[in-house]
A = this chain, B = another copy of it.
């Protein structure tokens, strides 16, 4: 048993190293790579991806798992060793169901789909993208057929991002929040946020956000922050965390973009050392990971106590904010305002963009919608959900990269993250009664320490629902704390 476990660990460590190497190549591509390096980089990433897949689906891993049959019942459920065998078994069995040829077809279709999407979005031309989307959807349907499912053919896709989550469970949550959000948006008061646009020199923004991030609980020498076009966070160990952000010289969005990525970074930084070079070295799901980026971006970064501490330094950095009172600033950064673009959406409207996509994705996989009709349906639902008119497909159905690369099933995790963030926040507030006073004094460490000890350090030993249950006492995704939070935010002046 012990020999089999050691052999399994060695193989998983090798796969983890290759995955991290892939991460370094991806980070470099988005932060540093000269543009003409693209073609060679695609080859390098494809080779690493193929090796990782080969090594993880190697029959020898199956033989080791056979030798370890029942092992996971002999140690505590959440122990490192039991979790390693259990989670590896789950992932291996899922990966083995997909024929290599289908994996490769999906990879190729994603690459050419991405290329077609870039062009189509630029030209606002859905028709040119349609054949690529059709191909991606067709392959996803073949992928779904590799699995058994009960409630919806969408569930195997969702499961790639939210292990163990059912489509029906997400539907239930979204059925509650959709009308509630539409109502909130319609009732949201107009708020003056004009002072958030103006002249905000990028170097000053950079210095300010670096200063803020340095207080959040990331160890010195274990992270860096760079600029990029589409912000992201990646990590190559829990001591090598790469945040990226985007600066515009006429607004302050870099603050919340950076706090968002810092939330992901704190998660990666908090993974327990013993999990780092294994299959357990990440968050249990995209939704849980997103819950923490949203926590730091919104629940901390748009809170009154946080700005009680930081608004003075912000005014010192940008003196044009001196005439703007903190109450006024708080209202502006918490306002709800329907818009066309998901990535620019505020907290209140954001999940509506997601629910629209979630509904369309299910129809696409079920085959209950003609893909050619997507632009029309999109525009109608934008009107229905958010009351906005879509001027062209570039700001409509073509705005997101996900479908071009076959990333169907990913979108709902964003909204789940929003909802889960409030469930966890509710527990945090009970555990740290002084939280507001701490934030107001600039002391974020009790918060980040609690989250690390109770959530981040677990890695993916538990499933998303098990993780939520450990924190909240119930595995259910409960939208109420989320809706209460948004109602408080939009209907009272902060």
Contacts and interface: CB of A to CB of B under 8 A. Distances in A.
A28 to B, nearest CB: 5
A47 B116 CA distance: 36
A430 interface: no
A223 B21 CA distance: 21
Interface in A220-259: 221-224, 236-237, 239-241
A323 interface: no
A223 B37 CA distance: 9
A48 interface: yes
A24 interface: yes
B277 A43 contact: yes
A37 B20 CA distance: 12
Given A21-B48, A47-B17, A39 B221 contact: no
Interface in A5-56: 13-14, 17-18, 20-21, 24-25, 27-28, 32-37, 39-41, 43-44, 46-48, 51
A239 B34 CA distance: 8
A35 B20 CA distance: 17
A41 B221 contact: no
A320 interface: no
A277 B44 CA distance: 10
A47 B277 CA distance: 12
A219 interface: yes
A239 B39 contact: yes
Interface string A277-288: 100000000000
For chain A, what secondary structure do more than half of its interface residues adopt (helix, strand, loop), or is it mixed? helix
A23 to B, nearest CB: 9
Given A34-B224, A224-B34, A21 B20 contact: no
B277 A37 contact: no
A276 interface: yes
A32 B219 contact: no
A239 B36 contact: yes
Given A18-B48, A24-B44, A41-B237, 11 more contacts: A13-B47, A14-B47, A18-B51, A20-B40, A24-B25, A27-B28, A34-B224, A36-B219, A37-B239, A41-B240, A44-B236
27 contacts: A13-B43, A17-B43, A17-B44, A17-B47, A17-B48, A18-B47, A18-B51, A20-B40, A20-B44, A21-B24, A24-B28, A24-B44, A34-B222, A34-B224, A34-B241, A35-B221, A36-B221, A36-B240, A37-B239, A40-B237, A40-B240, A40-B276, A40-B277, A41-B236, A41-B237, A43-B277, A51-B51
Interface of A: 13-14, 17-18, 20-21, 24-25, 27-28, 32-37, 39-41, 43-44, 46-48, 51, 219, 221-224, 236-237, 239-241, 276-277
